[in-house]
């Protein structure tokens, strides 16, 4: 190889590396926004955007570049289009490369170095790694829902003032003003009625500086952003955390317990209308109630139930989570919540593979026309036997978690007759039932025995 060819080869490698590690962006994703009917999300061209999220909370701190590539590629393949991440888990957070995010644990003083050369540790910093992650997410068609600072850092020790929070939010807004694949989750597993001046400062600063980027509030378990911030100008949509406890473990007064659909039903009665979704239901693989590792663990059955219950109630999407993935558990890490599985294995959990089927089902019908409609159901039930329905003019979808008989009040959709079929949430397969008269009360018996996790969606289409 002569010197000229060697030079050109070296130059091409240099530009390839520069493209991979620099601030240059791949093609921007369409900016998501609230739909005209204010119930759902659409992209800029008004195409439906069904939020299918994953909780990768510790991605920025615990994944190296190879891990980032692997994780987002996997989530794209499984149909996820949103990943929820903490920007600052703690004020002394350090990423896998030893880069600290802040100077003296002060959120108003991000630790920034000149340049972004990954080969030179003196140039590459914590925020460059965040930039890299956002770029990888974008290339995989994924939006990153970022929590600026996790709630415990504000709630404990008064370590974050309103003034510091405002400066930090200005930094984030300026650094990511040209990013179309960012959504902001203010708060972070925290009580919405505490430190409201700080959360309002962060939310309003982000929204004022970048009005096109969606903003919400990620609240404490069994609570909802709407309880404290529904009328805040910076809040574009509501998010609730239905939590990780069983019916019998929840002693809170007036709690919705496991009935996460009740958050949606309540939120959609509020004015102005805003989209809402479950941003943290029970994680797959986590103990019931979180802290007692001797308790049973939530399974794929449970994450499906939370998904279909909330979406059929009118939610604009759903966020899945797994115990190992949310903490990006690696070999040598100190276990939390009884987890022993590596994140690289847990990304293939059964529930994670099944989430795509709810997204495909919802987008397989005229999405923006649909409304929740419990008047369809003649034998509604309660707790795990609860049946829930959503419909438009020419289709209806009814979900049963236990495979119990479904009795329907017909004539809620158009046509003298309807075609009926069963949709399997575990594998996305549809089985035809036949043609049914669209009048009176009709009964439908799902396949299999009645038991928790034998869930089915009954599909009715106008004929």
In a domain, 105, yes or no: yes
Residues 316 and 282 in one domain: yes
Residues 308 and 186 in one domain: yes
Domain boundary among 369, 403, 427: 369
Q: Residue 400: give its domain's CATH number.
A: 2.60.40
Three-class DSSP category at 438 = coil
Beta bridge partners of 419: 435, 461
Residue 79 burial (10 A CB sphere; 0-12, 13-18, 19+): middle
Residues 389 and 433 in one domain: yes
Residues 348 and 382 in one domain: no
In a domain, 312, yes or no: yes
The residue assigned the tokens 């609860």 is: 386
The pLDDT assigned to 19 comes to 37
Residues 318 and 450 in one domain: no
Q: For residues 150 and 146, what is the distance between their CA atoms, to the nearest angstrom?
A: 10
Q: For residues 291 and 370, what is the distance between their CA atoms, to the nearest angstrom?
A: 39
Domain boundary among 345, 369, 393: 369
> Contact at 8 Å (CB) between 329 and 341?
yes
The pLDDT assigned to 158 comes to 80
Range of the structural domain that residue 315 is part of: 28-369
Distances (CA, A) of 178 to 29, 108, 172, 292, 456: 11, 21, 11, 44, 42
Q: For residues 426 and 429, what is the distance between their CA atoms, to the nearest angstrom?
A: 8
Residues 85 and 52 in one domain: yes
In a domain, 255, yes or no: yes
In a domain, 76, yes or no: yes
Residues 268 and 408 in one domain: no
Q: What is the mean pLDDT of each run of 10 residues along the chain (463 residues)?
A: 39 36 70 97 94 98 98 98 98 98 98 95 96 98 98 91 98 98 98 98 98 98 98 98 97 95 98 98 98 97 98 99 98 95 98 98 97 98 98 98 98 98 98 98 98 98 96
The pLDDT assigned to 7 comes to 38
Q: Residue 122: give its domain's CATH number.
A: 3.20.20.80
Residues 83 and 110 in one domain: yes
Domain boundary among 337, 369, 401: 369
The pLDDT assigned to 26 comes to 79
How many distinct structural domains can be found in the chain?
2
Q: For residues 64 and 46, what is the distance between their CA atoms, to the nearest angstrom?
A: 36
Cross-sheet strand order for the sheet of 182-190: 215-219, 182-190, 143-147, 82-86, 51-55, 317-320, 276-278, 238-241, 223-224
**What's this model's pTM, rounded to 2 decimal places?**
0.94
The pLDDT assigned to 24 comes to 52
> Contact at 8 Å (CB) between 296 and 284?
no
The pLDDT assigned to 16 comes to 35
């Amino acid at each position: 190889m002569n010197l000229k060819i060697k030079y050109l080869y070296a130059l091409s490698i240099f530009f390839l590396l520069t493209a991979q590690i620099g601030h240059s962006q791949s093609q921007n994703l369409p900016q998501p926004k609230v739909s005209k009917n204010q119930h759902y999300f659409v992209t800029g061209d008004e195409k439906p955007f069904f939020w299918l999220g994953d909780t990768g909370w510790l991605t920025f701190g615990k994944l190296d570049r190879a891990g980032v590539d692997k994780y987002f590629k996997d989530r794209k393949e499984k149909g996820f289009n949103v990943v929820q991440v903490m920007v600052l888990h703690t004020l002394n957070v350090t990423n896998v490369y030893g880069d600290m995010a802040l100077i003296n644990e002060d959120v108003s003083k991000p630790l920034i170095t000149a340049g972004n050369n990954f080969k030179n540790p003196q140039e590459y910093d914590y925020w460059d790694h965040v930039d890299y992650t956002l770029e990888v997410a974008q290339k995989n068609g994924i939006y990153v829902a970022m929590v600026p600072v996790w709630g415990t850092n504000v709630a404990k020790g008064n370590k974050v003032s309103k003034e510091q929070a405002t400066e930090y939010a200005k930094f984030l807004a300026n650094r990511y003003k040209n990013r179309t694949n960012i959504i902001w989750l203010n708060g972070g597993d925290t009580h919405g009625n505490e430190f409201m001046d700080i959360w309002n400062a962060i939310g309003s600063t982000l929204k004022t500086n970048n009005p096109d980027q969606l903003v919400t509030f990620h609240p404490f378990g069994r609570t909802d952003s709407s309880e404290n911030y529904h009328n805040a100008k910076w809040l574009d949509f509501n998010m609730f955390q239905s939590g990780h406890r069983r019916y019998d473990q929840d002693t809170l007064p007036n709690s919705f317990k496991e009935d996460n659909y009740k958050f949606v039903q309540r939120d959609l009665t509020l004015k102005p209308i805003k989209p809402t979704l479950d941003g943290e239901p029970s994680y797959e693989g986590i103990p019931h109630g979180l802290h007692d590792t001797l308790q049973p663990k939530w399974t794929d059955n449970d994450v499906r139930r939370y998904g279909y219950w909330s979406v059929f109630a009118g939610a604009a999407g759903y966020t899945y989570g797994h115990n190992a993935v949310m903490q990006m558990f690696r070999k040598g890490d100190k276990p939390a919540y009884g987890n022993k599985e590596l994140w690289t294995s847990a990304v293939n959990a059964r529930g994670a593979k099944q989430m795509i089927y709810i997204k495909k089902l919802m987008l397989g019908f005229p999405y923006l026309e649909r409304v929740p409609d419990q008047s369809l159901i003649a034998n509604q039930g309660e707790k795990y036997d609860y049946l829930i329905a959503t419909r438009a003019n020419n289709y209806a979808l009814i979900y049963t978690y236990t495979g119990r008989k479904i009795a329907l009040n017909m004539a809620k959709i158009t046509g003298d007759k309807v075609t009926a079929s069963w949709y399997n949430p575990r594998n996305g397969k549809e089985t035809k039932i036949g043609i049914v008269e669209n009048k009176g009360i009709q009964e439908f018996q799902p396949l299999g025995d009645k038991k928790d996790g034998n869930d089915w969606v009954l599909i009715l289409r106008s004929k």
